[in-house]
Amino acid sequence: MRVAFQGEAGAYSEEAIIKHFGRSVEPVPRPYFRDVFDAVESGEADLGLVPVENSIEGSIVRNYDLLNERTLKARGEVVLRVVHCLIVNPGVRIEDVRKVYSHPQALGQCRAYLEERGMEAISAYDTAGSVKMLKATGAVDTAAIASGRAAEVYGMEVLARGIETHAQNYTRFLVVGHEDHSPTSDDKTSIVFIVDHRPGTLHMALGSIAGNDINLTKIESRPLLGKPWEYVFFIDIQGHREDAKIHKALTELGRSCRSVKILGSYPTAKP
């Protein structure tokens, strides 16, 4: 099975793919998040995996937008404990490091560590890609933040492990494909909806969820393009779209919203 992800070999997304599918899977690296969706839609990959939320830095909003824009469905969930490492070319000492490259999410998750040491944070397109770039330059005043696996992949040295601001640092990923997952006994459903811009519409929409005794596990708003100060709402609820009470709630939601799109139902990730 080929599973597309954003980044280079050694990226956390690749680690999440191996955790979810096992070592027989073939990870397919792509430069940008949109390329992951393109790879699945074109048949270059069977499935894709994208991060949607981090327990320190919050949502990865670009992937919520892509889920809304594209036709692919969420069909799986992976939660990965993220342990960040400060990685350098062999022989570099920590007192030599002035600049640190990584993905903006990783830099944010390690902000306290970098600020305490006066290290300049510089954004790059990928965590593992930062390590690859650092190896190519041979810089002796620069480090990268990535996984310990990335250091092994590129033959680099780890100066410090676990530099994230909080130990409870988890990233949640969604597996995307052409169809969502069949029901299990423990599922989630992701939905996006738009309500009319008038008093009480959001309350009415969410009432469809609460009134059917369904647990709302996440809500996220994103700007509605072309309509300044209006929003689309992304929610995750417990249950599968084929469950009787979920089906009833979705029917009610459709009556109170301008539009409703089911992004997919999938098994809840196991720790």
* Domain spans, the chain: 2-81+169-177, 85-161, 187-267
Rounded Cα gap, residues 234 and 220, in angstroms:
5
Rounded Cα gap, residues 171 and 236, in angstroms:
16
Short-list 127, 77, 132, CA closest to 105: 127
Active site residue 173: yes
What radius of gyration do the chain's Cα atoms show? 20
C-beta of residue 134 within 8 angstroms of C-beta of residue 115:
no
Q: Which residue matches tokens 């937008």?
A: 65
Structural element, H or E, at residue 160: strand 157-161
Residue 209 phi, psi (nearest 5): -80, -55
Please name the fold of domain 2-81+169-177.
Answer: D-Maltodextrin-Binding Protein; domain 2 (3.40.190)
Active site residue 251: no
DSSP string, 68-91: HHSS-EEEEEEEEE---EEEESTT
Catalytic residue among 171, 189, 193, 234: 171
Per-residue pLDDT of the chain (271 residues; tens, 9 = 90+): 999 999 999 999 999 999 999 999 999 999 999 999 999 999 999 999 999 999 988 999 999 999 999 999 999 999 999 999 999 999 999 999 999 999 999 999 999 999 999 999 999 989 999 999 999 999 999 999 999 999 999 999 999 999 999 989 999 999 999 999 999 999 999 999 999 888 889 999 999 999 999 999 999 999 988 889 889 999 999 999 999 999 999 999 999 999 999 999 999 997 6
Q: What integer pLDDT is reported at residue 30 of this predicted model?
A: 96
Q: What integer pLDDT is reported at residue 197 of this predicted model?
A: 84
Catalytic residue among 21, 37, 173, 193: 173
187-267 is classed in which CATH architecture?
2-Layer Sandwich (3.30)
Q: What integer pLDDT is reported at residue 271 of this predicted model?
A: 67
Side chain identity at 94, as an amino acid letter?
Answer: I
Short-list 37, 21, 12, CA closest to 4: 37
187 strand-pairing partners: 267
C-beta of residue 40 within 8 angstroms of C-beta of residue 33:
no
Equal CATH topology for 2-81+169-177 and 187-267:
no
Q: Is 85-161 a domain of CATH 3.40.190.10?
A: yes
Q: What integer pLDDT is reported at residue 167 of this predicted model?
A: 87
Side chain identity at 225, as an amino acid letter?
Answer: L
C-beta of residue 23 within 8 angstroms of C-beta of residue 167:
no
Global pTM reads: 0.90
Give burial (CB, 10 Å; 0-12/13-18/19+) of 254: middle
Q: What is the DSSP letter of 165?
A: S
Short-list 78, 4, 8, 76, CA closest to 40: 4
Q: What is the sign, positive or negative, of the torsion defined by CA atoms of 174, 82, 128, 106? A: positive
List, in sequence order, the alpha helices (H) in the chain: 12-21, 33-42, 61-69, 104-109, 111-116, 127-137, 148-154, 201-210, 244-256
Q: What integer pLDDT is reported at residue 251 of this predicted model?
A: 95
